[in-house]
Each structure stands twice: as structure tokens, then as C-alpha cells.
Amino acid sequence: MNPSNRPDSTFDVIIIGAGVTGLYQLYLARKAGLSVRVFDAAGGVGGTWYWNCYPGCCFDSESESYGYTWSKALLEEWDWTEHFSPQPETERYLNYVADRFDLRRDIQLNARVQAARFDTKTRRWSVQLTTGERASAQFLIAAVGVLSADYTPEFVGIKDFKGLSLHTGRWPRDGVDLRGKRVAVIGTGPTGVQLITKIARDVAHLTVFQRTPNYCAPLRNRPVTPAEQQHFKATYAEIHQQLRETPAGFLYHFDTRSAFEFSAEERLAYYEKLWALPGFAKWLSGFPEVMTNRAINEEFAGFLRNKIRARINDPVLAEKLVPKNHPFGSKRIPLESGYFEVYNRDNVSLVELLETPIQRMTASGIETSERAYAFDVIIYATGFDAVTGPLTRMNIEGVNGQTLGEKWADGVRTYLGLLTAGFPNLFIATNSAFCNYPVCAEMVVEWIAGAIAHVRANNLASIEATPEAEAAWVEHSAELASHSFLSDANSWFMGSNIPGKKRALLLYSNSAPAYRAKCEEVAAHGYQGFTLQ
């Protein structure tokens, strides 16, 4: 039952978003005996796994590392069919969770939050939907995800195109028939790589518009065997413990040995072994110096470039697909299943945007500085206004009438990534750590649930980050970022894919265990750094 027809509109907690984080936050709020309503703009639960239903969408983390850890019954009941789950299966999983724990009765779908305002007298949040419907709550939790605000560049003439325009992050739920069509794909990040690989064989002609080549590496996906399925279920406790101990919440530890203990020939043999492994092993389980030492990073990057060259028949084209302008690991590594071989097909061509940029969209297609192209379909795999976009696009107004967009105009400012000064009782339930999403998201959800319980148990009205703690956290986060290769590339990590957005690392670049320990320490000391009223 969709609860939109229920007469009550006053709650203890309002949650924005019914994705991975929002569903668990709802579960814990209800378990604590709180009245709660979840609003989601989508027509179904699943968050990113609802919207991103484009062809080829798939996990880039192992399936057994992605599911919720908090229910032994759920772990026992659910079977993953592939080592890296495709989008349809992941969406089914989250729907199964919603049904299994009877969560739907507190979820209102097709309900986009337009504005939220904090009332300093009542110490409560008032929320307004685009339909005009209103609701209020003591606590407002934004479980809106890191990558949910899709971004399309403002190309000249973008509305002039008479064909079909699509964004991968808002793919039509009933699918799109691309067979026999002339298709353009703009963007070659992880989403574009998955999509391009999947549709190349079906379209009449595919033209890929590339700005930045990436260090794409083989996913090496395959079905989960019955024996492997049973092994997952028998060892979930160990798997989850490993996820909580690793720096990024994946099933990988960096090698304890130094790259400098080996000769160049021995390192090359080591890189070959990494290359043969599935998933992010190439990124997160090699020598630690790959992410800290320029020379070793360049050596491994050179190894990857040669792997790319070997897969493309045309050596001139191969050089165009080889990344050279950013260090390996400074952007999320796209994982692929035959991506580079796509460019060996006669019906696929590449346009380098740095050489021949797009001038305008036309009624029939795309015009670059070199020539005009005609298309039936243009697909924008142009990414997201990450981390901050989902929040600043809503009109969230805190004390003194300041909106979150105004406060963050010069960069995101939070304490622990969880609350921001001037916005009492607004929890940001987003995994802001550089970490496998569900692992850190569960920790964030549990911390928020604990903070709410603390406020209510002590008959308090609100919790708010102090300006001093916030300023110290921003400075600390910037200091960590200055030592990271992540700041060496133009990527959504840095917000540099969005015109006018301040360039700064949007994720907390310390290890996941260190972040968790800091959050636990703050809570254990009576929520030090927060004002409790």
C-alpha cells in the first residue's frame, strides 16, 4: 500500500530516499518505535538501482560484499547469481528487502521533495513535495545517495535535436530499442563503458564522444556456482569482518610488502598476476606505493596502457584510448567486459572531444569543430553532480533563512560528513568516506540512529554541528586530500565535472576503519563537537 492517502503528516522522522541507505534507515527507525515516512521521487524502491537501468549496468564490487549485513535471515535467504550482480538482480534484491521487512507501508513513491525548512520555534522540519503536499518531523534524514543528481552539459542547441535524447541515470523503465539506430554516446566513464560494450553489437552505428580515456580493466564476471553460494553463506561473518577492516571496505588489502623490495622484472610479473584477478583487485590490492609513489604509479600505469594497446587492432586508435593525463587510481577505475574490443568493430567510431569539441547540437545530431554527425539517438553518459548535488538541488533552508546551496556555494562544509552547522536535526545519510557503499552506509545509518536515540532519551530537541568542529573537520579533510592522487584528476571525486562547482575532494580520503573509529569516538564522548539543545 502506498501511504500517500494516509491522513497523518506529522512524524518523528522523515527520510528522503528509498535506496540502500534509506531502506535500512527506515528499518532502524521503525525498530526504535519512531513514526517515520520515506519520500522518494522514483516509482519504486532501490535508489540508484532503480534509475540506472541502462543496458549493461552492473556491480563493480563483488556481490557477496554488497548486500546488507544486518540480517542473518536475509543473508541465508538471498542467492546471488553472478559474482558482480547486474542491475536487474540488484533491484530485485532491494525490492525483496522492502517486502521481507514490510517497509513499503511507510514509503511514499512518486514523491519528490521540493523544499524543507527548519522552524527555530518548534525545532522541527517542514517538508514540501512538488505536489504541494506537506509533512513535518523532528528529524530529517537525507538518504539521497552520492550519485543521484544526473548531469547533462548545457550544450548549445540541446533542445533542437529531433531524435531521442537519453541520460543513463534516468533510463526509461520500459527500455529502449536501439537496434538498427545511429547512436551517439557522450562520455566514457564507468557508466559509458558498460553501456557502450552492451549496445555496440545491436546498433547500426555507434559514435563514442570521449573527453578523457580511462584506465579500464577487466571485470572478469561469471556465474556463482552452487558451491560458491554455500561458501558465501557459511563465511559471511568472516567476509563482513574483512570488509570492516580493509581501507576501502572492499575484499582487498594492499600488499604488506613494498614495491621496492622487488626488481623491475619481478614487479612486472606481479602486475600480470594482478591483471588476471577480478574486480578492483588491480586498484586496491597491489603494492601500496602505486597510490603513494609517482614513479611506481607511472610504472603500473604504463603496464595498463600496454594491456589496452594489445586489445585494439588499429595502433593509431589505440593511442587515443590510452589514458595519459592523470595518474592511475585518481579516478574510479571502470571495470569492463570487452570494452576495448568494441573499437575493432566496423560500426563503431571514436571522436576525441579535446581535439574536436562539440560546438552545438542540431536538429539532426551533433556538430563538432570538425564536422556534423547525424543520429537517431543521443545518449548522455555524462555523470552526476556528485555528493552535494542531490542536496543543493532541493531548497533546504536552515536557521536564519540560509539554504544549504548558499552555505555550500564555496564548497561542502560538514562535521563528520553527517551534519552541518546551521541545520539542526538534518542528518546527511550519505557514505562520504571513500568506501564500498553498503559497508560504510550501514555504519552511517547506525550512527544516525544512535544520535537520534541519544537526543530523545535525554529529552532534547535538537542536535547540530558546531561551527568550530565543522571548520576543523573541513581543514582536516583538505589536509588528507592534499596527500592523495585523487586530487590529480578532473573527476566527480573533485566536483570538477560540474561547471562553477568549487574544486575540492568530495569524499573523506582517510581509511574506512579510521572514519568509523572517529565517528564512534565522537558518540562515546557525548557527541563532542555538536550542540545539543
The backbone region for 163, taken as left when phi is positive above 0, alpha when psi lies in -120 to 50, beta otherwise, is beta
Per-residue pLDDT, averaged over 454-460, amounts to 97
Domain boundaries defined on the chain: 3-45+103-149+386-532
Question: Number of helices (H) and strands (E), helices first, in the chain?
Answer: 15, 20
DSSP string computed for 264-332:
HHHHHHHHHHHHTS-TTHHHHSS-GGGGT-HHHHHHHHHHHHHHHHTT-S-HHHHHHTS--SS-TTSSP
* DSSP code, position 333: P
Strand residue runs (E) in 23-158? 36-39, 107-108, 113-119, 124-129, 134-142
The whole-angstrom separation of Cα 203 and Cα 198 is 10
Q: Which amino acid, one-letter code, is at 153?
A: P
- What's the Cα-to-Cα distance from 247 to each of 167, 236, 251, 439, 482, rounded to whole Å? 33, 19, 10, 12, 18
Give the pLDDT of residue 305.
Answer: 98
**pLDDT tens string 328-355:** 988 889 999 999 999 999 999 999 999 9
- Residue 483: what pLDDT? 78
| pLDDT greater than 80 at residue 397 | yes
- Containing 164, the helix (H) or strand (E) segment is strand 164-167
β-strands 377-380, 182-186 pairing: parallel
87-106 pLDDT tens trace: 999 999 999 999 999 999 99
CATH superfamily of 3-45+103-149+386-532: FAD/NAD(P)-binding domain (3.50.50.60)
- Give the Cα separation of 281 and 69 in Å (integer): 22
- What secondary structure letter does DSSP report for 370? S
- Grid coordinates 586508435 are at which residue? 317
Residues with Cβ within 8 Å of 227's Cβ and at least 6 positions away in sequence, in order, are none
How much is the pLDDT for 4? Answer: 42
> Where do the DSSP E strands lie in 348-392?
348-352, 358-361, 365-368, 372-374, 377-380
Quick check: 280 and 61 in contact, CB under 8 A? yes
DSSP 122: T
Average pLDDT over all residues of the chain: 94
Q: Look at residue 193 and give its three-state secondary structure.
A: helix
Closest C-alpha among 102, 98, 144, 189 to residue 428: 144
Low-confidence winner among 201-210, 301-310, 383-392, 491-500 (lowest mean pLDDT):
491-500
Using alpha carbons, select from 519, 463, 454, 508 the residue that is nearest to residue 486.
508
Q: How confident is the model at residue 8 (pLDDT cuts 50, 70, 90)?
A: low
The DSSP secondary structure of 457-494, one letter per residue, reads HTT---EEE-HHHHHHHHHHHHHHHTTSGGGGS-SGGG
Which of 257, 265, 319, 311 is CA-nearest to residue 289?
A: 257
Work out the pLDDT band at 5, boundaries 50, 70, 90.
Answer: very low
pTM value is: 0.95
The secondary structure of 223-268 as a DSSP string is BPPHHHHHHHHHHHHHHHHHHHHSTTSSS----SS-GGGS-HHHHH
Interacting residues of 7 by C-beta distance below 8 A, sequence separation 6+? none
> From CA 52, how far away is CA 522, in angstroms rounded?
36
User: What is the pLDDT at residue 7?
Assistant: 43
3-state helix, strand, coil split of the chain in percent (to 5) is 35, 20, 45
Residues 510-530 have pLDDT tens digits of: 889 999 999 999 999 999 999
Distances (CA, A) of 452 to 427, 477, 504: 10, 25, 30
Q: Is the pLDDT of residue 506 over 90?
A: no
Question: At 6, is the pLDDT very low, low, confident or very high (cuts 50, 70, 90)?
Answer: very low
Report the 10 Å Cβ neighbour count for 330: 21
Average pLDDT over residues 115-134: 96
For residues 262 and 76, the answer to whether their CB atoms sit within 8 Å is: no
8 A C-beta contact, residue 36 and residue 74 = no
